[in-house]
Amino acid sequence: MRMLGIETSCDETAASVVELGDDGAPRILSNVVLSQIEDHAAFGGVVPEIAARAHVETLDGVIEAALDEAGVPLGAVDGIAATAGPGLIGGLIVGFMTAKAVAAAAGKTLVPVNHLEGHALTARLTDGLDFPYLLLLVSGGHTQVVLVRGVGDYERWASTIDDALGEAFDKTAKLLGLPYPGGPNVERQAARGDPRRFSFPRPLRGDARLDFSFSGLKTAVRQAASAIAPLSDQDVADICAAFQLAITETLEERVGRSLTRFREAFPDLARPALVVAGGVAANKAIRAALEGLCERHGMNLVAPPLHLCTDNAAMIAWAGIERMRGGLVEDDAMGFAPRSRW
């Protein structure tokens, strides 16, 4: 089975061909990702209208490149999987309508894919993970803990009650005058800062819910920064270090609760796993904290390679394969409309 995947929900224009071999092993034949970061950098964040226009301009070429690189003509794919939500509606419309048009013209099965399902199933593409497992999704738009029981069978255990984790990094970076995207820059600054100079809050610590909150942390950073303005390079580094420490300790405490619950719910799994996905998973301090946390809970941390953790179309193609082989493709897929808040 071969699937063409298309992803346009945020600021990456992406297409990929993934093949499921007769031996049951998946292979990524191509994975083309065109980032729009430079188009948005001057604005300090993603501008939806600019994103949608950029998708219009580049998507056809990106799809062609994905097919070329895979060495697979359009006629030789079995289906076309495209992100139909959640995300920025302009980009979703461009990607999903393109998928519809190509599917109609080439007589292929159309598979609408939820972007979060793409992230949730990636660990099965990269690590052949069996169900059930726990997913921690930490990106610019999402912060969730999800129990993944099967294809299409998810239970959300935790989400953020305000900012997403990547958003907290991006807003903190902006506040400190660091360029977009903020996460990598905050991490770089933190490496040369003193995390003990400032004491930032650990939001929701001790709260019995499993949820996250990050807006208070951002406010604390703003107050610390305005109290000593103008900021020296060392001030910026120290604030970043303290911020990152607050984040890692908060994640340990918050995610730890979900791990306890997972171990209680599934005491007999051969390979109990926490999968981490989303751009924030690139952060080395956060990864190290999660490694330690999993070890303490007798679990494995599964972190797919970074280029498959962040937004890409291979995960969408793979979700399409999982849906198609599971008989989970809607009959009226052609009538499906993209949903920004799916």
**Is residue 139 a contact residue for Zn ion (CB under 5 A)?**
yes
**Residue 338 binding partner per list ligand KG4, Zn ion, none, with a CB distance cut-off of 5 to 8 Å that depends on partner kind:** none
| Residue 280 binding target from Zn ion, ligand KG4, none, CB below 5 to 8 Å by type | ligand KG4
The least CB distance from residue 70 to Zn ion, in Å, is 22
Q: Provide, rounded to whole angstroms, the least separation between the CB of residue 307 and ligand KG4.
A: 10
CA-closest candidate to residue 232, choices 180, 194, 283: 194
152 is in an annotated binding site: no
* Inter-residue contact 170 to 180 (CB < 8 Å): yes
Residue 283 site contact among Zn ion, ligand KG4, none (CB < 5 to 8 Å, cut-off depends on kind) = ligand KG4
Residue with token string 């803990």: 145
**Burial level of 143, CB count in 10 A (0-12/13-18/19+)?**
buried
Exposed / middle / buried, residue 160 (Cβ in 10 Å: 0-12, 13-18, 19+): buried
79 or 181, CB closer to ligand KG4?
181
Known binding residue 193? Answer is: no
Least distance (Å) between residue 206 CB and Zn ion: 30
| Residues contributing to the site for ligand KG4 (CB under 6 A) | 10, 139-141, 166, 169-170, 181-184, 187, 278-280, 282-283, 310-311
By CB under 5 A, tell whether 311 contacts Zn ion: yes
Question: Which residues, 6+ apart, have CB-to-CB distance to 14 below 8 Å?
Answer: 5, 6, 7, 8, 31, 32, 33, 34, 62, 311, 312, 313, 316
CA distance 138 to 276: 8
| Least distance between Zn ion and beta carbon 310 (Å) | 7
Q: Choose between 77 and 275: whose C-beta lies nearer to ligand KG4.
A: 275
- The DSSP-derived string for 177-196 is TPPSSHHHHHHHHHTTS-TT
Give Cα 61 distance to the centre of its chain: 24
Structure tokens at 122: 């990636």
- Return the number of the residue (114 or 189) whose C-beta is nearest Zn ion: 114
Binding site listing for substrate: 137-141, 170, 183, 187, 283
Which residues contact Zn ion by CB under 5 A? Answer: 139, 311
